[in-house]
Amino acid sequence: MDFNPDHKADTEAAVRRGDCTPEGWVFDIKRFSVHDGPGIRTTVFLKGCSLRCVWCHNPESIDTKPELLVYPMRCISCGECKEVCPQGAHRVAPSGERIYDRSVCIVCGRCVESCYAEALVLAGKKTSVEEVMTAIREDSKFYEKSGGGVTLSGGEPLLQGEFATAILRECKAEGFHTAVETCGQVSWANIEKALPYVDLWLYDLKHFSPDSHERYTGSPNRLILENLSRISSRGAAVEVHMLIVPTINDSRDEVESAARFLASLPRIEAVRLLSYHRLAGSKYESLGRENTMPNVPSPTIHHLQKVARWIRQYGIHVFLPERGTRQRHQGDGKGDKRGEESSELLFHLGDEEKRPW
């Protein structure tokens, strides 16, 4: 799935011939990331997702098109957005209230450039591989000293298969460690193209029950499980990520079913438990969407430890957040994943405690 479907065949053919370098849609590049693989990393967030998880913490990543996030509380009523908008999407009411008409907006980004208060944020920019690599190279010294590297995330980065693979290929050519965070709901062809250039797969497992998976993500999980099995059978390093959402995917039967499946695979390095929270709710409002996040509390550390024990009994290493820390997948309401400082505990079987990569 590419972002210019009318030109997809011509573009991919040109890329294969070497006539051009693919471009893609990126909605954030996060530097100094410490939760998207080993060491200090640069995480590149690609736009577009094949799932529609009701608990999505980055709803601005779902749509393939650029989107405008609007934060009225930051607005200083300067009126600059109104002046520069070619469509008249921005106006100011007699009361001074700023009004935005999303139906006529073409998401050109001019209002964002003029908004000093950052009340308007653009999620999604057409970007070349070289532009991404320029940002990555700026952090290369951190990779060397920390054993870090580059992670592609999203959305689902492998929806933009040619673009993602081109970035990964360039990273490996320059000696950078690479990781891909994927939901697995993509064609095997896209995964197979990327495989030679990926050192670590961060594989999301949302729900093991096919019916429940479809209910909460919009798609069944058959392809996801098949792709995970195929990646593992290739001997690739895989860390499975499980977001624990109380009352939805945290029952013992659910967790143990998933653990038995993972234990049957040739190579799974570890499972990392992530804690659900509702802090991203403001993003839905800023996008003009209904907030679909389940109205349930975050799991307690005691419950996460219990879930870890259920998985550990199948001989699988488990990582989970330490008490009192902020969890991964937490944004600041501006379309990124900043503010993710946390420490971790490694729950393990055997005598040696080590990271899986």
Complete domains list, the chain, with CATH: 5-64+124-347 (3.20.20.70), 67-123 (3.30.70.20)
- pLDDT tens, position by position, 276-317: 999 999 999 999 999 999 999 999 999 999 999 999 999 999
Q: What is the DSSP string of 6-41?
A: GGHHHHHHHHHHTSS--EEEEEEEEEEESSSSSSSE
- Label residue 322 by pLDDT band (50, 70, 90): low
Q: What is the pTM of this model?
A: 0.85
What are the distances in angstroms from CA 302 to CA 13, 275, 345? 53, 12, 13
pLDDT of residue 77: 86
Answer yes or no: are the C-beta atoms of 157 and 165 closer than 8 Å. no
Is the predicted pLDDT of residue 208 greater than 90, yes or no? yes
Query: Which residues in 323-344 are b (16+ Cβ under 10 Å) and which e?
Result: eeeebbbbbebbbbbeebebee
On average, the pLDDT of the chain sits at 87
Answer yes or no: are the C-beta atoms of 92 and 77 closer than 8 Å. yes
Query: Residue 61 CA to chain centroid, in angstroms?
Result: 8
- In eight-state DSSP terms, residue 74 is G
